[in-house]
Amino acid sequence: MAIPSFAVMVAVCSTYLVPAGVVAQPITLALQRTVEPAAYAPGEDLLVTLTITAEGSGAVNALGGEETLPAGWQFKESVAGPNGDPP
């Protein structure tokens, strides 16, 4: 069966002081989402991986994300990435 689409929402909060005369650099985020396997059978697990990378000189102080599952699907577990623990 084909994998239904998921809605992904990411929110960022970055607050820092910029001295007078200094130009603040924007923060650019890139989101990559992969799903394995490419097709599924009902009752089998899917591995959904979200990789978020930040570019720029500013610090990202907080980052949140939300993945909406199709009706009838259940969230099983979350695994920490290399830069922190999941919520």
| pLDDT computed for residue 82 by the predictor | 63
Q: Is 49 strand, coil or helix?
A: strand
Inform me whether the pLDDT recorded for 73 exceeds 80: yes
The verdict on residue 76 lying in a domain is yes
| pLDDT computed for residue 81 by the predictor | 66
Q: CA–CA distance from 34 to each of 8, 55, 65 (Å)?
A: 12, 21, 15
The verdict on residue 21 lying in a domain is no
Domain residue limits at 49:
1-15+26-87
Model pLDDT for residues 3-13, shown as the tens digit of each residue: 555 555 555 55
The verdict on residue 20 lying in a domain is no
Q: How many domains does the structure of the chain reveal?
A: 1
How many angstroms separate the CA atoms of 64 and 62, rounded? 7
